């Protein structure tokens, strides 16, 4: 068998494996979706530390602090830490609001670092050393927890001493802002409604999603604390803790609203970080996972979970192999027929999540699924680069996802200094779209019509992402100069150091 056939066959088989695993998640979810653990009574109001890691978040910081301070919990047992690594005026705003809340009797500390060593993991580690609570809740800057969050999560810890983490569901503040945000909402709902529920209630490995969760402080310490050798410190710590025997719980009925990225480049940056960090965690923890004395199915599901972003380089390989096949008049109909069946798994998973969330009106919400198909395929080049950086050990650079405080359709992000400029990935995406178009032309000319749907999806997807790149970057271009000026003005060396606060 020629090398090209082997590469193509391996890519198809692995892609089919990930696609079929979506069916596994659906089956497990259907088997366990009614098996929610009853909430035990809250016996004791113990001290809780709420950590808020921030970096240049001046537009959403006030909203975040207001939500956390409004939590329905005794003030003398609610310890809030603002973990600020900001290099812009966010640092001054954080100090101002912390002082105002302290004057109102709120137990709140500001820990400002004049460096970003370890990025988010480094900030969480620094805060952990000064955390007063027995439990530690973490919220990113774009999240707005509801007042009853702690009262709805802490009882489970008190009922189960081996429970190390509680993860809650992400809600969406701005899902209806645009087609891009609607597609993201469907993707996240699939993960949080179906996948996380299936994993949690089936006893499989699940992950802390980096925010909207509560840790038992003892669990973090026992698992080795926050580590910065990956840029998915949340996934890394999750697996280390579960491999030690700590149990995790997912609560889909506890929802924390959050802001979805309205700019395609912000979304791509977020995806790049998740893809690279996940593959780093797989390389770090995969061997130990495979050697663990656990059921084979649990280990297999853990490995598929850790390496899930590997589907994107496989998709790129599949596209790149198609044109040589066409030029040599080789047949791949059997391969594609197998892949077609497996590719039905994700749509069923996403559709089920919308049906269970929205009831009779779910089809209206699901109408954005075609955009999700374009988004999920078109992001493949971006995430392939991320996976490659992880595989070759390229140095980490934690690029934040900019938050604009876009809550309704009337809000505008394009005049925001955090808007991201065009990057070179757009050229590659346009190139892949053109490559797919050439393959479509040859497939039609050779009457290989069974190949055209896949190729058409590639062409439309990469073209869609590239077009959004250009449109969104042009909208934000006028702000690029202002962004550079602000970043040069608010470097750590130019910031007044914030005083260290204590209770």
| pLDDT given for residue 479 in this prediction | 47
Q: Is residue 499 part of a domain?
A: no
Q: Are residues 17 and 80 in the same domain?
A: no
- Structurally, the chain folds into a number of domains equal to 2
Does 502 have pLDDT greater than 90?
Answer: no
Nearby residues of 33 by Cβ (< 8 Å), 6 or more positions away: 197, 201, 356
Q: Same domain for 479 and 409?
A: yes
Specify the pLDDT at position 475.
66
Encode pLDDT of 227-268 as tens digits.
999 999 999 999 999 999 999 999 999 999 999 999 999 999
Q: What percent of the chain has pLDDT over 90?
A: 78
Same domain, 24 and 55: no
Please report whether residue 492 resides in a domain.
Answer: no
Identify the domain boundary among 205, 229, 263.
Answer: 263
Same domain, 165 and 253: yes
Phi, psi of 388 (to 5 degrees): -65, -45
**Are 370 and 423 found together in one domain?**
yes
Q: Exposed/middle/buried for 303, CB within 10 Å: 0-12, 13-18, 19+?
A: middle
Q: How far apart are CA 218 and CA 192, in angstroms?
A: 26
Pairing label, strands 48-54, 78-84: parallel
Indicate which residues carry an active-site annotation: 85, 234
Phi/psi at 5 (5° precision): -65, -40
Please state whether beta strands 163-172 and 213-216 pair in parallel, antiparallel, or not at all (unpaired): antiparallel
pLDDT of residue 171: 97
d(CA 192, CA 198): 9
DSSP conformational letter for 260: P
User: Are 460 and 377 contained in the same domain?
Assistant: yes
State how far the Cα of 487 lies from the Cα of 417, in Å rounded to an integer: 10
Q: Please state, for a pLDDT cut of 70, what percent of the chain lies above it.
A: 92
8-state DSSP, 114: S
| Residue 188 dihedral angles phi and psi, to the nearest 5° | -70, -35
Instruction: Please answer whether residues 268 and 472 qualify as being in contact, where contact means their C-beta atoms are separated by less than 8 angstroms.
Output: no
Task: Give the pair of three-digit tokens for residue 5.
Answer: 């056939």
Pairing of strands 247-258, 163-172: parallel
pLDDT for res 254: 98
**Residue 129, both tokens:** 């050393």
Distance of CA 15 to the CA centre of its chain: 21
Do 436 and 348 sit in the same domain of this protein? yes
Q: Name the DSSP letter for residue 497.
A: P
**In this structure, what are the phi and psi dihedrals at residue 501, rounded to the nearest 5 degrees?**
-100, 150
The answer to whether position 370 is within a domain reads yes
Which 3-state string (H, E, C) describes 73-135? CCHHHEEEEEEECCCCCHHHHHHHHHHHHHHCCCCEEEEECCCCCCHHHHHHHHHHCCCCCCE
| Higher pLDDT, residue 332 or 222 | 222
Closest by alpha carbon to 313, among 219, 390, 421, 202? 390
**10 inside domain:** yes
| Residue 385 within any structural domain of the chain | yes
Does 344 score more than 50 pLDDT? Answer: yes
pLDDT digits (tens, 9 = 90+) for 84-142: 999 999 999 999 999 999 999 999 999 999 889 999 999 999 999 999 999 999 999 99
pLDDT tens digits along 402-417? 999 999 989 999 888 9
446 within some domain: yes
Report if residue 278 sits inside a domain: no
> 10 and 138: one domain?
no
Q: How far apart are CA 191 and CA 186, in angstroms?
A: 9
What pLDDT was estimated at residue 484? Answer: 46
What was the pLDDT predicted at 492? 44
234 and 332 fall within a common domain = no
Gap between the Cα atoms of 124 and 128, Å rounded: 6
Residues 157 and 238 in one domain: yes
Contact criterion met (CB below 8 Å) for 494 and 410: no
> What is the band of 331 on the pLDDT scale with cuts at 50, 70, 90?
low
Q: Say yes or no: 394 and 324 in one domain.
A: yes
Q: Are residues 19 and 94 in the same domain?
A: no
Q: pLDDT, tens digit, for every residue of 415-469?
A: 889 999 888 999 999 999 999 999 999 989 888 877 888 999 999 999 999 999 9
Q: Is residue 363 part of a domain?
A: yes
Listed residue (350, 299, 367, 371) closest to 191, CA to CA: 350
User: Burial of 263 by CB count in 10 Å (0-12 exposed, 13-18 middle, 19+ buried)?
Assistant: buried
Q: Show the domain range for 417.
A: 3-28+307-485
Which DSSP symbol is given to 143?
B
Q: In which band, very low, low, confident or very high, does the pLDDT at 353 lie, cut at 50, 70 and 90?
A: very high
Average pLDDT of the chain, as a whole number:
91
333 band by pLDDT with thresholds 50, 70 and 90? low
What pTM was computed for the model? 0.91
How many Cα neighbours within 13 Å face the side chain of 107? 17
C-alpha to C-alpha distance for 187 and 33, rounded to whole angstroms:
19
Give the pLDDT band (50/70/90) at residue 501. very low
CATH of the domain at 246: 3.90.550.10
């Amino acid at each position: 068998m020629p090398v090209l056939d082997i590469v193509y066959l391996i890519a198809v088989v692995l892609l089919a494996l990930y696609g079929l695993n979506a069916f596994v998640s659906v089956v497990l979810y259907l088997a366990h979706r009614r098996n929610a653990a009853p909430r035990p009574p809250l016996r004791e109001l113990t001290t809780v530390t709420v950590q808020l890691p921030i970096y240049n978040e001046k537009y959403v910081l006030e909203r975040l602090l207001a939500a956390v301070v409004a939590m329905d919990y005794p003030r003398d047992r609610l310890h809030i830490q603002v973990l600020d690594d900001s290099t812009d005026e966010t640092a001054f705003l954080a100090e101002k609001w912390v002082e105002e809340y302290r004057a109102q009797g709120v137990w709140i500390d500001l820990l400002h670092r004049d460096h970003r060593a370890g990025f988010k993991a480094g900030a969480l580690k620094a805060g952990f050393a000064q955390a007063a609570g027995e439990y530690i809740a973490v919220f990113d800057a774009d999240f707005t927890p509801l007042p009853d969050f702690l009262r709805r999560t802490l009882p489970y810890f008190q009922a189960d001493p081996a429970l190390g983490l509680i993860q809650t569901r992400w809600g969406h503040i701005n899902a209806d802002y645009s087609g891009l945000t609607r597609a993201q909402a469907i993707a996240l709902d699939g993960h949080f409604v179906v996948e996380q529920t299936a994993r949690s209630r089936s006893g499989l490995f699940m992950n802390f999603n980096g925010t909207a969760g509560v840790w038992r402080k003892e669990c973090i310490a026992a698992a080795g604390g926050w580590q910065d050798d990956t840029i998915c410190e949340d996934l890394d710590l999750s697996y280390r803790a579960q491999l030690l025997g700590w149990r995790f719980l997912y609560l889909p009925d506890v929802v924390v609203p959050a802001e979805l990225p309205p700019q395609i480049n912000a979304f791509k940056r977020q995806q790049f970080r998740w893809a690279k960090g996940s593959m780093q965690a797989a390389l770090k923890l995969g061997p130990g996972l495979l050697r663990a004395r656990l059921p084979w199915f649990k280990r297999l599901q853990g490995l598929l979970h850790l390496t899930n972003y590997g589907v994107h380089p496989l998709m790129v390989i599949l596209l790149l192999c198609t044109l040589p096949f066409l030029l040599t008049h080789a047949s791949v109909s059997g391969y594609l027929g197998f892949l077609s069946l497996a590719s039905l798994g994700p749509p069923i998973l996403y559709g089920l999540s919308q049906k269970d969330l929205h009831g009779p009106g779910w089809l209206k919400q699901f109408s954005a699924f075609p955009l999700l198909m374009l988004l999920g395929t078109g992001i493949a080049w971006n995430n392939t680069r991320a996976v490659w950086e992880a595989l070759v050990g390229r140095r980490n650079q934690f690029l934040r996802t900019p938050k604009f405080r876009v809550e309704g359709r009337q809000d505008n992000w394009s005049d925001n200094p955090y808007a991201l400029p065009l990057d070179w990935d757009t050229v590659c995406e346009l190139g892949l779209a053109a490559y797919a178009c050439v393959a479509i032309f040859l497939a039609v000319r050779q009457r290989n019509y069974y190949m055209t749907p896949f190729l058409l999806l590639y062409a439309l997807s990469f073209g869609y992402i590239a077009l959004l790149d250009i449109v969104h970057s042009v909208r934000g271009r006028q702000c690029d100069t202002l962004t550079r000026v602000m970043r040069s003005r608010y470097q750590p060396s130019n910031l007044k150091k914030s005083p260290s606060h204590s209770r």
